[in-house]
Structures are given as structure tokens and as C-alpha cells.
């Protein structure tokens, strides 16, 4: 039986083997769902493989993406507006890249993973904690190779920070402050407007309740609305808090506090201060992590965005591309820590190599799902009045049934996740 025929049959089975390694030198067959803006960057990063299918609800974006693939690979990909049609018709795929807005991450990824396809999904992995947990379960049950799109994780500077902290250069860290200058906030419904001819508005809305189209939601301002996005916190914390989770080996928090302006039913807050309390682990004590956005930042710092680790013997200040030990005079002659973490071959390349060779990724859904859950719980605490107790094992608020719709929202039929 030809390999492609075998794979097409297996793809239609819910019992697809966890890993089907490709013969060495054979390129992976990929579909990219959401192909422009952030999707364009992801598409460009996987063009070393065979991108055989593209999907986007925006006809203009879909055409641009197809042009990029045709120019790079010499063959035009098949194109779709509806990811469900793509998954039904493309029987010999190996993996998918999902770069849609937050509210459709989970329904797209879950459908692909149930087909046995490996998945690269943009942060914050899903729109709700329950959806994150569903993707984690699917990845674990199917043995799939996964990666969340926290591309800075592949950077050299983050590795050097992790090495310094693990080497104990500032002692034991019990508190961290993380802040970002970027802001996505204060979405408000406007007067309905005609849907652009290029856009399939119903498909764009996917699993959430239907609303009239309004200008600006697509392709960017959806981040400002609870129905579609997760605000500044969901957009940026997976990048910046990632370093904290990685360096300190944090589990999900047990308690979350959040403060900001009065909660609005439609739009995300213009600024937010979140506190996550993480339990002790191994030889490390408990850790408290602060998040600030919308102009808020810890006292005394001047960097636009970054992380400030507070240890028993000093501090470490960092951002995407630099770091310094504080106070400067004490650490002026401090040597770098041993380079125990190898340089990344690239965030997308890690995932592709894992699919091909059966290896691992640094931001698989086991790790990145716990990070995304932590981030999303900040929004849950804020929307529920400022403070929650979290049970990571049960995936529920301790001693309370409140907030169930925030943790596990009802989804429109045809876009199931759970």
C-alpha cells in the first residue's frame, strides 16, 4: 500500500498512531490556518516544508498567503475559508499551524488534533482555561508534538537569564515583577456596518455568540473585546511571564489577585495589576509574581517592559534582549553562568524537528498550557471581583462554583472543543 494511501486512511481514524516519523529527507505536509499578520510570520517560518493547504476567512489575506507559498515553493497550495472543510478534505497532512484570533485557537486546534495532526498554536493557546486544558489532554492522549507560539523562548538572552538564576547568582528568588508598555484595552460595541465582501463574518466569529460586524474588529482590535480576545494580559504575558516560569520551574498558581478599573462587560481593562502566588517546589520556596500593564510598572524601574527578579542576594533585571545584575557595583565582576542551555535551532524548527525525529519541544502544551492557564486566571480573578483560589488538579476554583462560564464557556454548535 502506498504510504500516502495509508496515511489518508489513518487520518480519518480517531486512533491515529502518536508518532509517524517521516523518512529522512521527506518534507512534512503542513496546513496553515490564519495566514496573514501573525499568521504570515508563522507561514514564512515553515516554508522549508511542503505547505499544501491554507485557510483564512479573509479572501484577500488568503490570496496573499497563497502567493507567498507559490513564490517560495513553486506550487500553489489548496485554499479554504472553513478550517473544517480543509481538515475533511486534506487526508494526508502531518501537522497544522494555527494563527487565528484567540477565540478560535481551541476549536481549530482541537479539530486538527483529533485527526492526529501535530499542532503549532499561537499564544495564549486558547481563549479560556477550560479550552487550554482540553488541548493539553488531547496532546497527551494522542502523543502529539506541540508548540505554543512564544517565539522569544528561542532567544539567546532568555537562556542566559535562566542559567544565571539557576546558578543562584542572586540567591533564592521569592518575588518577581513583570510589566509591559503595550496595551490592548477598552473595546466597546459600535454601530453595525456592512460586512466587507472579502470576509466571512460568521466563520470569523466561530464558537462565540453572533454579533453584527463593526469596523476594526478584524484584523486587530478583537484583542480589546472579551468575546474574542484576552486583552493586554493575554496578548503579552505569555511572552514575558514565560521567562519566570522557565527559570523558576513554576507550577500553576494556587491564589490569584487582580486589580484594575471597574469591570466592563464588553471590553478588556485599560490597565491591570495581577498577583500570582505559586507553591513551593523541590528546594525552592513559594514565589509571588506580579504583572503590570497599561502604564503601570514596579517602583523605580525605567525600562519600557521587562522582568525584575528579586533574590536573597541581589536582583536581576531583564527584557527580550538584555539583562543586568543589580546592584551594578556588587556584580560588576560577576562571571556569566555556565552555558548549560544550548542555543535553539529556532522556535518553529524545534517543532518540525520533533515531528520528524520524535524529539521534544521547549514550549509543548504541557509546559505552555500551564503558563497560558496562569495568564488567563489573571483575567478570571479580575472579572470575578479581584481574588480567586485555584485548584490545579481539579481545574476549578477552590470551594466555589462561580465563574464556570469564564473557565469553560458555552460554544456555538459546530465549533466544539470539549
Characterise 226 by phi-psi region: left (phi > 0), alpha (psi -120 to 50), beta (else).
alpha
All structural domains of the chain, each given as residue ranges with its CATH number in brackets, are: 3-152 (3.40.50.720), 156-185+226-334+365-407 (3.30.360.10)
In the predicted model, is pLDDT for residue 368 greater than 50? yes
What average pLDDT does range 325-340 have in this prediction?
A: 95
Which of 10-19, 136-145, 354-363, 407-416 has the least mean pLDDT? 10-19
Helix (H) or strand (E) holding 247: helix 231-248
What's the mean pLDDT in 267-271?
Answer: 98
- The predicted pLDDT at position 25 comes to 74
Q: Is the pLDDT assigned to residue 399 strictly greater than 90?
A: no
Rounded to 5°, angle at Cα 356 from 351 and 362: 25
Residue scoring higher pLDDT (168 or 23): 168
CB within 8 Å of 107: residues ≥ 6 apart = 206, 207, 411, 415, 416, 417
Residue 78: the pLDDT is 98
Report how far Cα 391 is from the mean position of its chain's Cα atoms.
Answer: 22
1 pLDDT band, cuts 50/70/90, is: very low
Give the pLDDT score at 11: 37
Distance CA 270, CA 249 (A): 30
The mean pLDDT of the chain is 94
pLDDT on residue 401: 74
Please report, rounded to a whole number, the percentage of residues in the chain having pLDDT higher than 90: 92
pLDDT on residue 191: 94
Amino acid at each position: 500500500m502506498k504510504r500516502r494511501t495509508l496515511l489518508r486512511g489513518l487520518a480519518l481514524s480517531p486512533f491515529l498512531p502518536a508518532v509517524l516519523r517521516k523518512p529522512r529527507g521527506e518534507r512534512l505536509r503542513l496546513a496553515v490556518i490564519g495566514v496573514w499578520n501573525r499568521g504570515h510570520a508563522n507561514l514564512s517560518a515553515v516554508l522549508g516544508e511542503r505547505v499544501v493547504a491554507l485557510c483564512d476567512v479573509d479572501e484577500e489575506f488568503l490570496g496573499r498567503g497563497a502567493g507567498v507559498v507559490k513564490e517560495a515553493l513553486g506550487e500553489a497550495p489548496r485554499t479554504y475559508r472553513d478550517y473544517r472543510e480543509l481538515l475533511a478534505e486534506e487526508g494526508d497532512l502531518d501537522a497544522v499551524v494555527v494563527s487565528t484570533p484567540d477565540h478560535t485557537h481551541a476549536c481549530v486546534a482541537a479539530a486538527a488534533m483529533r485527526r492526529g495532526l501535530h499542532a503549532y498554536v499561537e499564544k495564549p493557546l486558547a481563549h479560556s482555561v477550560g479550552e487550554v486544558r482540553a488541548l493539553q489532554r488531547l496532546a497527551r492522549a494522542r502523543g502529539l508534538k506541540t508548540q505554543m507560539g512564544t517565539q522569544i523562548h528561542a532567544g539567546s538572552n532568555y537562556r542566559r537569564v535562566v542559567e544565571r538564576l539557576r546558578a543562584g547568582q542572586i540567591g533564592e528568588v521569592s518575588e518577581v515583577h513583570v510589566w509591559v508598555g503595550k496595551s490592548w484595552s477598552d473595546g466597546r460595541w459600535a454601530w453595525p456596518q456592512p460586512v466587507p465582501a472579502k470576509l466571512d463574518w460568521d466563520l470569523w466569529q466561530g464558537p462565540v455568540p453572533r454579533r453584527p460586524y463593526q469596523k476594526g474588529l478584524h484584523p486587530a482590535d478583537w484583542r480589546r473585546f472579551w468575546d474574542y480576545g484576552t486583552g493586554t494580559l493575554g496578548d503579552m504575558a505569555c511572552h514575558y511571564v514565560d521567562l519566570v516560569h522557565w527559570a523558576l520551574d513554576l507550577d500553576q498558581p494556587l491564589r490569584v489577585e487582580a486589580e484594575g478599573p471597574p469591570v466592563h462587560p464588553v471590553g478588556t481593562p485599560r490597565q491591570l495589576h495581577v498577583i500570582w502566588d505559586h507553591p513551593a517546589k523541590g528546594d525552592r520556596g513559594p514565589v509571588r509574581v506580579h504583572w503590570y500593564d497599561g502604564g503601570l510598572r514596579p517602583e523605580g524601574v525605567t525600562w519600557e517592559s521587562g522582568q525584575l527578579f528579586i533574590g536573597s542576594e541581589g536582583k536581576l533585571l531583564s527584557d527580550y534582549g538584555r539583562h543586568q545584575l543589580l546592584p551594578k557595583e556588587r556584580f560588576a565582576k560577576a562571571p556569566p553562568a555556565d552555558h548549560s542551555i544550548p542555543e535553539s535551532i529556532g522556535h518553529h524548527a524545534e517543532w518540525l524537528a520533533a515531528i520528524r525525529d520524535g524529539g521534544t519541544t521547549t514550549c509543548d502544551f504541557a509546559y505552555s498550557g500551564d503558563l497560558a492557564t496562569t495568564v488567563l486566571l489573571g483575567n478570571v480573578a479580575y472579572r470575578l471581583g479581584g481574588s480567586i483560589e485555584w485548584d490545579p488538579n481539579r481545574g476549578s476554583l477552590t470551594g466555589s462554583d462561580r465563574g464556570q462560564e469564564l473557565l469553560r464557556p458555552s460554544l456555538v454548535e459546530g465549533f466544539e472543543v470539549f
